[in-house]
Structures are given as structure tokens and as C-alpha cells.
Amino acid sequence: MEQLIANFPKQLEEAIEIGRATKLNFNGKIFSNVVVSGLGGSGIGGTIVSEIVSEEATTPIIVNKDYFLPAFVNENTLVIISSYSGNTEETVNAMQQALEKNATVACISSGGKVIEIAKENKLQYIVVPGGMPPRSCLGYSLTQLLFVLNYAGIISNRFEKELEKSIALLNKEETRIRKLALRVAKKLYKKTPVIYSATGFEGVSIRFRQQVNENSKMLCWHNVIPEMNHNELVGWVDKNKKLGVVIFRNSSDYSRTQSRIENNKEVIAGCTSTIIELFSKGKSKLENSIYLIHLGDWISLYMAQLRKVDATEVNVIDRLKGALSKI
């Protein structure tokens, strides 16, 4: 896992090459909406991308993480199937539904049933390298989602330069990122992480939560601001040294949201002394997100090492899949 995380910038470079080489043609069709269907390490890219492009895309984009598609999906919907293995049963079922509803379907996968079905039905698809844990291949799925949206006319190709700048940023900051990640991991690995971010960066928080779950083998939770100010903030009343708060921040966060964060810190400080603020770097929302994602990945790995657990294994998920295969 350590090498896979270290290779993230190179993976983004390769992903750009794959996206540019795989030309998709939607024949100028105008879509009423877009549904990205995928789960876990394959689905998180959809959550992050939908937030990144929210200020540009005028077509609604939702992320589906279930066996079934929303009722509104029809012949005017673009359904993007994202399954790294190509065999995620929920996503394969959603793909079949998309075909039944006559939606336009585009696929991102390394192979499996998804690519088999795509070929059988003459669908458009992008193949990414396989053989790795899905959560370690976010660079592939996130980048290809952006390319699919661009080829479908939903967004411009501006993201390509922003991705290139993101790669340069990570390469420049890599040593500092790893040092910061280790410092944070040492503060967090014996605590239950509580993760906050501004709305618009929830995908970054979810990604970190998932990495803490899978890599560090720890439970944690996340929420967004301002939503948590209307509910969860009330729960911060008891002192609890076992909680460690991580706040992902950006200079571009709305000014009133930043004021809320400062107020939240005062409330939370009465319950735990572990409050860690992690500020993004970069000039675009895509750069900000990729920087924080990479930082979070390193933190999760270092927490796994400090806890002396195998960051790669996901035996409990494998057992669940095995049990489901017998039903």
C-alpha cells in the first residue's frame, strides 16, 4: 500500500494519457442528467468529481451507490458505470437497469463483467490497469470520470491543465506531505477520528474516512459545515479524550463557513484538545481536493503502521463477498 500511495502522482499522469487516448463519441447528444454508479473505492471518485465540477456543469450529476437506479433515469440520462474490478454486483445490477431504461451507458473498469457487457452491447468504455486494490486506484477513476463528462459535453477540458498542476504540486510537496502526515498520524492513531470539511469538499472527507476504515482498520465519522451546525454541534458537550478532530480547510471556503469553523473549534475544544486543521494547497478546487486526498491517504497508512496492522488486507469484505456468492 505504501508504494501504491507513493505512485499516486504517476497514476494521475498515466490516467491522463489513457483518457486522451480513449476517444468517446456521444454524437452531440444533450443529456438531461448524469448518474455515476459505483461503490467503495470505485464510487468515491464520482462523489469527488460531482463536487469539483458543480460550479461548471449545468447538467445535474448524482452519484448512485446501490443495486438500483433512480426512477428518473431514462433515454436522456447518461449513466457512467464505475467498477474497478468490473464485478461489483451492485454496480453490475445497476448497469443492467440502465440498459433496460435505454439510458446512454459509458463504463470505466479494468475488465470483468462490466467490460464484457459493454462489448456485448457495443457501449463506450475506458479500460484502466487492473490488479490493485480499488481504493488505491482513485487516480484512474477520478480522471476518467472527468474525461467522460468532457466527451459528453458536460464540462470543458479545463480539468486537464488543473490535473497537470495537481501532479506538479504533489511532486513538489511530497516530502512535506509525508512529514505532516506522520505528525498527524501520531496524534490520531489511538483516537477515534472525527472529520469535518466545508460543503463542497465532503468527498475529500468521505475518502479519508474510507481510508481510515480500510487502511488503518479504525472506525470514525465525518460531517460537513454548515450542516453539522444544525445538529451534530449540539452533541459536543462531554469531555472525551479519545476523540480526535480533523478539519479539512481551504482558503476558498465561503467566508461565513470559515467563521462557523472558528466558532466550532471553540465549542469542540471544551470536549477534546485534539483538533487538527489541514489546509489545502493549489489554486483550483481540483488541486485543493487532490492535495488533501493524498495527504489523507498518507495519514491512514501511517496510522496503520503505528497500529501494526496490514493496510492492504480487507479480509472481512472478502468474507462478505464469499457469503453473498453462495446465495
Q: Which residues contact 102 (CB under 8 A, 6 or more apart)?
A: 74, 75
Question: What letters, b where the CB count within 10 A reaches 16 and e where it falls short, cover 46-64?
Answer: bbbbbbbbeeebebebebb
Which residues are designated catalytic?
Answer: 214, 230, 321
**CA 270 – CA 79 distance, rounded (Å):** 46
Instruction: Name 307's bridge partners.
Output: none
- Cα 196 to Cα 137, 180, 199, 200, 243, distances in angstroms: 24, 18, 9, 12, 13
Cell of 250: 481551504
- Contact between residue 291 and residue 170 where contact means Cβ atoms under 8 Å apart: yes
The torsion angles phi and psi of 281, rounded to 5 degrees, stand at -125, 160
Instruction: Name 223's bridge partners.
Output: 196
- Contact between residue 59 and residue 32 where contact means Cβ atoms under 8 Å apart: yes
- Contact between residue 207 and residue 290 where contact means Cβ atoms under 8 Å apart: no
Cell of 230: 444544525
User: Which residue from 146, 85, 135, 142 is spatially nearest to 115, judged by alpha carbons?
Assistant: 85
